[in-house]
Structure 1
Amino acid sequence: MAGDKKVFGFEEVARHNVTKDCWLVIAGKVYDVTSFMDEHPGGDEVLLAVTGKDATSDFEDIGHSDSAREMMEKYHIGEIDASTIPAKRTFVPPQQGSHVQAKDNDILIKILQFLVPIFILGLAFGIRHYSKSE
């Protein structure tokens, strides 16, 4: 039975990433879970979130039951060609410049909100003081 399973390239599997056509890669196997989307206890969003990547660690982290693992077999449609899986991308944090600049702008605005009324108040007192002196 395993001999008639197809070998899929990663790009082909990744294209099946919507509710009405959803494939997953788990432990080197390709699963067409389209008909399972409505039945999945975590909802279809959980399955859609792991399309287009190797979902093995996501699947294992949840701690699926033995019956869930057995159920998977009916959705198994083939194997993934391991040579087509892209190398893991290193996480690159977003540049901090814009965030720091926004924080600086917030501080400047708060300082001005404090200083401008004090300046106006001081100006008003100064004008009043000089106008009484004359």
Structure 2
Amino acid sequence: MAAQFTRKEVEARNQRDNAAIIIDNVVYDVTPFFDDHPGGVEVLLDNAGKDASQCFHDVGHSEIALEWRQQFVAGEVVPEEHWPVRSRDQQAQQAAEPLTLATLISVWGPPLVLAALAALFYMYLFP
């Protein structure tokens, strides 16, 4: 990547005819991708001119999407403005919620209570 951009330069590229985003300190020109983006043009326009790393990783893009974005690389952020980059393993660990009793109750509690009430109601109506 030969071209280097300051975050201020990328910030100015926030229009439909000239849009760029930053993902993990890499600058992507997303202008030609508007019509092809599976998530719609709005998400790209909302993040145009910004660091979209968190948004990009929260969505959980496929390996194909990770490879596909390479064709839109415009350059990188100047080294003195780099932000820390989380590895995919760190992202997966942060996204995974530990299995606890409270989690199980919050997920399975309401359906079990409704099933018990339905059974009691059935036994009351049809003795």
TM-score range for the pair, normalised by the shorter chain length: 0.5 to 0.7
SS at match of 1:38: coil
Unaligned 5+ residue runs, structure 2?
84-127
Q: Return the offset for 1:83.
A: 3.2
Pick aligned residue for 1:81 from 60, 78, 81: 78
* Distance in structure 2 (CA, Å) of the matches to 1:26 and 1:80: 10
Structure 2 equivalent of residue 53 of structure 1: 50
Q: Residue 8 of structure 1: which of 5, 9, 13 is its match?
A: 5
Show CA shifts across 1:41-68 (max 9, x none). Answer: 1111101111232110100000001111
Q: Scaled by the length of structure 1, what TM-score is found?
A: 0.57
- 1:81/1:13 Cα in 2 relative to 1: closer, same or farther (>3 Å)? same
> What letter corresponds to residue 69 of structure 2 in structure 1?
M
Q: Which amino acid in structure 2 is aligned with residue 42 of structure 1?
A: G
Q: Amino acid of the residue matched to residue 59 of structure 1?
A: F
Unaligned 5+ segments in structure 1 are 87-134
**2:44 is aligned with what amino acid?**
L
Which residue of 16, 40, 52 maps to 1:43? Answer: 40
Q: Indicate the percent of aligned positions where both proteins have the same amino acid.
A: 40
Aligned residues: 83
Deviation at 1:84, TM superposition (A): 4.0
Q: Distance in 2 between matches of 1:22 and 1:82?
A: 21
Aligned to 1:116: none
CA distance in 2, matches of 1:42, 1:17: 18
1:30 is displaced (CA, Å) by 0.3
Give the secondary-structure state (helix, strand or coil) at the position aligned to 1:67. helix
For residues 82 and 43 of structure 2, the distance between their equivalents in structure 1, rounded to whole angstroms, comes to: 21
Q: Spell out the pairing of 1:1-134 with structure 2 (5 A cutoff).
A: 2=1, 5-84=2-81
Tell me if the contact between 1:25 and 1:31 (Cα under 8 Å) persists in the aligned partners.
yes
Runs of 4+ displaced beyond 6 Å: none
TM-score normalised per structure 2: 0.60
